[in-house]
């Protein structure tokens, strides 16, 4: 029994970050992710934080998704790289929105989209997990893109061919 548990644990730990074992994702999963993020509102920001004692932006995302069996990378830029890119118009609750807050070209901030142009994030030291709006002038200026983990990431044929070489 112990050996079987170790084999299963190893298989889960080695799975791609956006794969959950057992079943697919659905709209109820999105709602649960948003509900979990809502329960984190008010938790203090803590650099490197990934628990209800304190969160940074990517730690919040990793924690919320992890509560629902989805293992995501630890940093905002890695979360962006691993997700399937979507447009602003395609955003649905539970998707992730990303920003360039530390200079152009570098993903440095992430939030969980909750719908109606709002997202939940851990903003910075001295603040707490809170709601923000995508149409706020600061966030609009620093917006970098969005991804979803609710569908498989597709690799363009050109990139796939270069990987095979």
* Residues with a known catalytic role: 57, 109, 121
Q: What is the DSSP letter of 114?
A: E
Extract the tokens encoding 138: 């600061």
At 76, list the tokens. 């905002």
Q: Are 45 and 126 in contact (CB under 8 A)?
A: yes
Instruction: Locate 159 and state its tokens.
Output: 């990139």
Residue 109's DSSP bridge partners are: 99
Maximum distance among all alpha carbons in the chain?
56
Torsion angle of the four alpha carbons 130, 55, 18, 97, in this order, in degrees rounded to the nearest 10: 40
Determine phi and psi for 146, rounding to 5 degrees. -140, 155
């Amino acid at each position: 029994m112990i050996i079987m548990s170790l084999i299963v644990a190893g298989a889960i730990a080695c799975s791609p970050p956006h794969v959950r074992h057992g079943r697919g994702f659905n709209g109820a999963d999105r709602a649960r992710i948003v509900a979990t993020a809502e329960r984190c509102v008010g938790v203090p920001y803590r650099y490197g934080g990934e628990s209800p004692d304190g969160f940074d932006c990517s730690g919040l995302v990793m924690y919320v998704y992890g509560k629902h069996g989805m293992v995501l990378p630890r940093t905002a830029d890695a979360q962006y790289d691993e997700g399937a890119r979507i447009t602003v118009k395609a955003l649905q609750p539970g998707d992730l929105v990303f920003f360039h807050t530390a200079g152009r070209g570098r993903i440095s901030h992430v939030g969980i989209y909750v719908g109606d142009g709002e997202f939940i994030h851990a903003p910075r030291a001295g603040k707490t997990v809170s709601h923000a709006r995508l149409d706020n002038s600061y966030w609009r200026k620093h917006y970098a893109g969005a991804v979803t983990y609710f569908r498989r990431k597709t690799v363009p044929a050109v990139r796939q061919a270069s990987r095979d070489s």
